């Protein structure tokens, strides 16, 4: 199998963005919850912390994120990044209802 140089920056950016979206989702659920509001707020705070960590990693290592990967693995990860819609705004609005 052939290997390619692959840069992990977009993957880490996507992970950080998902943490931000998850924060919004948990806060939306917390604002509408009859019980468990504190639990969802705690989850939101955890997601904020994760997002800060991933962004710190991006700042520190953004120039050192080139990896040698199997071409199929690189294509697979790129597809995951490109098709990422895990916590979109529509889902967050539905959670408020």
Instruction: Indicate the domain borders of the chain.
Output: 3-96
Q: What is the pLDDT of residue 34?
A: 86
pTM of the model: 0.79
Mean pLDDT of 75-91: 81
70 is written with which tokens?
Answer: 């199997």
38 is written with which tokens?
Answer: 């504190």
Mean pLDDT of 50-67: 94
Calpha distance 76→82 (Å, rounded)? 10
Q: What is the pLDDT of residue 93?
A: 74
């Amino acid at each position: 199998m052939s290997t390619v140089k692959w840069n992990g920056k977009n993957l880490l950016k996507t992970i950080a963005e998902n943490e931000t979206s998850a924060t919004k989702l948990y806060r939306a659920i917390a604002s509408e919850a009859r019980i468990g509001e504190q639990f969802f707020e705690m989850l939101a705070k955890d997601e904020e912390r994760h997002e800060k960590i991933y962004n710190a990693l991006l700042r520190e290592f953004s120039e050192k994120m080139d990896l040698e990967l199997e071409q199929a693995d690189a294509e697979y990860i790129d597809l995951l990044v490109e098709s990422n819609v895990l916590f979109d705004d529509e889902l967050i609005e539905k959670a408020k209802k």
